[in-house]
């Protein structure tokens, strides 16, 4: 019986830990100059996953991480390329941009320009 209770407690603790915003997402949410980006990401995640809180949090964390990584790389591509990628992956419904896809396109552009 103790093993079952311990297993359930560990699983619940893992689920709680996985369903929390990471440091970057928490920062974006609280930083006034970035909060609109966070709200767009959150809106799109809720639209995509409905009531599945763990998937909403997972998606928010992934998109926020992509956003910050993209900021570090965007200087390596032309402004026109960045704008094209930004508008290509923009969804006006939530004011959301798929930062993971923008990041992917920037990485591909950098990789192709190195050859």
Q: Where are the domains of the chain?
A: 2-113
pLDDT band at 38 (very low <50, low <70, confident <90, very high): very high
Beta bridge partners of 97: 90
**pTM assigned to the model:** 0.78
Q: What is the rounded end-to-end Cα distance, in angstroms, of the chain?
A: 61
Residue 51, pLDDT above cutoff 80: yes
H or E, element range at 3: helix 2-18
Q: Which residue has the higher pLDDT, 112 or 61?
A: 61
Look at residue 47 in the predicted model and tell me its pLDDT.
Answer: 93
């Amino acid at each position: 019986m103790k093993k079952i209770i311990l297993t359930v407690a560990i699983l619940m603790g893992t689920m709680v830990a996985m369903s929390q915003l990471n440091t970057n997402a928490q920062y974006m949410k609280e930083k006034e100059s970035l909060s609109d980006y966070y709200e767009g990401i959150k809106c799109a995640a809720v639209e995509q996953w409905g009531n599945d809180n763990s998937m909403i949090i997972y998606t928010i964390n992934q998109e926020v991480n992509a956003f910050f990584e993209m900021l570090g790389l965007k200087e390596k591509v032309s402004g026109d390329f960045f704008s094209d990628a930004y508008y290509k992956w923009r969804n006006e419904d939530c004011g959301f941009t798929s930062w993971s896809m923008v990041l992917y396109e920037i990485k591909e552009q950098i990789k192709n320009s190195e050859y």
